[in-house]
Amino acid sequence: MTVERIEKIFLGLTAAMLLVFLGALFYSAFGMGMHLPDRAGEILPSEVRNTPPFDDPGVREVGDNQYEVVLIGAAWSFTPREIRVPAGAEVTFIATTTDVIHGVHVEGTRVNFMLIPGQIAKVTSTFREPGEHLMICHEYCGAGHHLMYGRVIVE
Amino acid sequence: MRNPTVASPEGFQLPDSQRRVIRWMIYLAFGALSIGIINGLGQALNYARVDILQYFPGMRTYYQGLTVHGVVNAIVFTFAFANGFLALTTSRALARPLNTPLLWAVLGTMVTGTLLAGYAMATGQASVLYTFYPPLLAHWSFYVGLALLVVSTWLTAILLFGALRGWRKENEGKRIPLMAFISVATYAMWTLASLGIAVSVVGLLIPWSLGLIDHSDPLLSRTLFWFSGHPIVYFWLLPAYVSWYVMVPRQAGGTLFSDSLTRVVFIMFLLLSIPTGFHHQYTDPGISGGMKALHGVLTFGVFFPSMVTAFSVMYALEIGGRRRGGTGLANWFLKLDWGNPALVAQILAMLTFTLGGITGLINASYNLNQAIHNTAWVPGHFHMTVGSAVTMSFMGIAFWLIPYLNRKELVGRGLALVSQWVYFVGVLVMARGLISGGLDGMPRRTEMLEAPYSKPSWELAGMLTGLGGTLMFVGGMLFFAVLIATILFGRKTETPEDIPFTDTYHPPATTGWEVKLDSFRYWVIATIVLILIAYGPFLAQYLPGNFTSTGYRFF
Ligand SMILES: [Cu+2]
Ligand SMILES: [Cu+2]
């Protein structure tokens, strides 16, 4: 077999592999509903705590087995620090920051998103198993960045 | 039909005055790397819960050290090396001297930029990390320093395009020599790509840090950063690819197979490096899922030329291994010249890069990114790309480049080999630690030593990170020992030496479609069109922006 032929096969397989991967990703996104954060509105960073829903952060039941978590990040803590939701419920995080960029990662889950000043983040997920997860600020936000964390308790 | 000047040192010699400037650029690069590696040891040990940063003079916080580590490694080291190295390859390939004042200007801007940014970082007034996301607000000299470092790459671009223009005038109808083509293509890509950082730093952050404007727009600056921040990965990588394509085959005793395919690969990098930045912003609010998906698909596209590279370079190595008596399916690999540190460093770099590439593809994988975004996985990934594929390639190049620039022989060949193996093992151990920790939620860019939270599985991950980082540090220090010994004690070479580059098995075609590959103008226009498709909809919807953030000095 000539090199050109081997190369063509190699590149064909590469292209096929990439297409299969992309297909799987798009199926997981649009078939299984595993979406990334989208546009969910803007907010004035200095007015976060006076702007609904952020004037009343916390967890609330908004429908049949549906919960909403209103979350604020500020150097260097989350409000609320502890989030309790039932296993199997559909949980929507609505979150923003009052100062610099922060991040939210509920470890062990795919709840992983950025808090960017001026932007509202909205992420929906379901925690299937009961248990406890760290909720870590995973974007550098200043000298106390490593102190910024919370917990998600799935009951 | 081989180009007779290729293997002949008499073909062209860079004037001594210019050799000296390039030498200082390479010294600046490795000087920066030495500071970066020393700080890196502190970062890695922090994961193993060992605090050595407290003994570093003037070091106030972990994050100050992390900022220094990122900026000097990822910006000063890589820029200075690319500026010097690709100026040399272009000049040699075209057999033309460069513009001396411009060459000095490149060095001057780099040194000034490094000093300004270095001042801000050393005094703790810029602990904003290498990504400098507003509204964290650094001292103005940090931003001005970064801007000058970018300007130095633009001056280099002018230098290279100027040399190419001069060559074209005298060589009408001829194909651009391959090594010059791929060097210039690298700078064409980066010049376009750097516009994002330039607009953000010069247009938004410098005036903001000077108090001329009150507010920043964090999402806009972040988007502009990643406009440049993905292609910067290729700006780090492509000088190594230049070496892998046209130098490693020669060092391995092989030949590069296809001229056209090599050009196509670099054109693909020019086209596809830039319109992919949103894959760093998959988890950002304020950007639509559709645009993220588009960037995701294009990112998969830019994986393709890297796979072509894997094939071409492996084939060139195989030719070399077989010429040295290798047989069978894999025996040729063992027959390669494992006693040549320049070659060994780059082969090991390629091996780590396969893992770096695979983990990169995972990062780029749309919603899969949520599993690892901003965890320790990410530094695990990029220490196998920029932290080893690029760094070890540059170290490998240094094993012939430093002797070449000084007209001296390499001192400590054995030590040079050891340095690369130690660094190689080190980076694999460290990446294993960071990646396993990251998969279990261990965050990146976080002072783990002081964090009030932890998980049992992070213990081993942290230990491996610290151990691997220590090995990388040792490998790096051995490398610097070889470098310094060569500069101080190397024996003078009498005969003129050439840089080790190869021509191709198939020479460039002089008729047909391949000739059109050399028309940079069309590729640049196509790139701009792709950029408009990838970023136009977001900017049209988002501008004039959301300038509502005041600055914070949380450090
Ligand atoms: Cu934070
Ligand atoms: Cu990227």
Best of B258, B284, B506 to mutate (most A CBs within 10 Å, chain A)? B284
Contact call for residues B356 and B381 (beta carbons, < 8 A): yes
**A66 to chain B nearest CA, in Å?**
22
A144 and B CB contact within 8 Å: yes
DSSP H helices, B126-213, are: 140-170, 178-193, 195-198, 206-209
**How far does residue A136's CA lie from ligand 1's centre (Å)?**
8
Each residue's pLDDT, cut to its tens digit, for chain B (555 residues) gives 233 344 555 678 888 999 999 999 999 999 999 999 999 999 999 999 999 988 888 888 999 999 999 999 999 999 999 999 999 999 999 999 999 999 999 999 999 999 999 999 999 999 999 999 999 999 999 999 999 999 999 999 999 999 999 999 999 888 999 999 999 999 999 999 999 999 999 999 999 999 999 999 999 999 999 999 999 999 999 999 999 999 999 999 888 888 888 999 999 999 999 999 999 999 999 999 999 999 999 999 988 898 889 888 998 899 899 999 988 888 999 999 999 999 999 999 999 999 999 999 999 998 899 999 999 999 999 999 999 999 999 999 999 999 999 999 999 999 999 999 999 999 999 999 999 999 999 999 999 999 999 999 999 999 999 999 999 999 999 999 999 999 999 999 887 788 888 877 777 888 888 898 999 999 999 999 999 999 999 999 999 999 999 999 999
Structural domain tally of chain B?
A: 1
- The residue of chain A nearest to residue B443, with distances taken between CA atoms, is A138
B440 to chain A, minimum CA–CA distance in Å?
7
The amino acid at B141:
S
Residue A60 C-alpha, separation from nearest chain B C-alpha, in angstroms: 22
- Rounded CA Rg of chain A: 20
DSSP B117-150: HHHHHHTTS--STTT--TTB---HHHHHHHHHHH
Return the pLDDT at B3: 38
Distance in Å, CA A131 to ligand 2 centroid: 34
Q: Is B158 on the interface with A (CB under 8 A)?
A: no
Q: Domain range for residue B492?
A: 15-542
Contact between A100 and B315 using a beta-carbon 8 Å cutoff: no
Residue B310 contacts by C-beta under 8 Å, 6 or more apart in sequence?
A: B350, B354
Angle CA B267–B270–B274, to nearest 5:
150
Query: How is domain A38-154 classified at the CATH fold level?
Result: Immunoglobulin-like (2.60.40)
CATH number of the domain within which B324 lies: 1.20.210.10
Domain ranges of chain A: 1-34, 38-154
How far is ligand 2, taken at its centre, from the CA of residue B227, in Å?
10
E-strand ranges in B178-334 read 256-258
Q: How far is CA B282 from the centre of its chain?
A: 23
B389 in any annotated domain: yes
Question: Between helices B520-542 and B218-229, what is the axis angle to 10°?
Answer: 160
Pairing of strands A82-85, A149-154: parallel
Q: What is the pTM of this model?
A: 0.95
Residue B527 lies in a domain: yes
Sequence-ordered list of residues with C-beta below 8 angstroms from that of B21, at least 6 positions apart, any chain: B100, B103, B104, B106, B107
| Candidate from B292, B300, B315 with C-beta closest to A36 | B292
Q: Give the ligand at the shortest distance from the Cα of B280.
A: 2
> Is A139 part of the contact surface with chain B (CB cutoff 8 Å)?
yes
Q: Which chain B residues have a beta carbon less than 8 Å from that of A10?
A: 307, 311
Is the Cβ–Cβ distance between A129 and A87 less than 8 Å? yes
CA of B380 to the centre of ligand 2 (A): 14
Residues of B annotated as catalytic are: 230, 234, 381-383, 444-445
- Asked if B338 has any chain A CB less than 8 Å from its own CB, the reply is no
| Domain contains B483 | yes
